[in-house]
Amino acid sequence: MPFTIGFKTSKFDVSKEDENPINPIYGQSLLVWLEKELPTELGFDHPDAEDWGWYSLLEWKGREYLVGAIAYFEDGDDPTSELEWVFQVDKHRSFTEKLLGREKMTASDECLQYFKLLFEKSCEFNCVALETSI
Q: Beta strand pairing status for 63-72 and 126-132?
A: unpaired
Looking at residue 9, its pLDDT comes to 96
**Confidence tier at 1 by pLDDT (50, 70, 90):** low
Instruction: Indicate the burial class of 96 (C-beta count within 10 angstroms; 0-12, 13-18, 19 or more).
Output: exposed
Note the pLDDT tens digit of each residue in 22-42.
999 999 999 999 999 998 888
Q: What rounded mean pLDDT belongs to the chain?
A: 92
Looking at residue 79, its pLDDT comes to 81
pLDDT tops 80 at residue 101: yes
Q: Give the structural domain span for 45.
A: 3-132
pLDDT tops 60 at residue 112: yes
Average pLDDT over residues 55-79: 92
Q: Which long-range contacts (CB under 8 A, 24 or more apart) does 116-121 make?
A: 116/5, 118/37, 119/5, 119/7, 119/87
Query: How many domains does the chain contain in total?
Result: 1
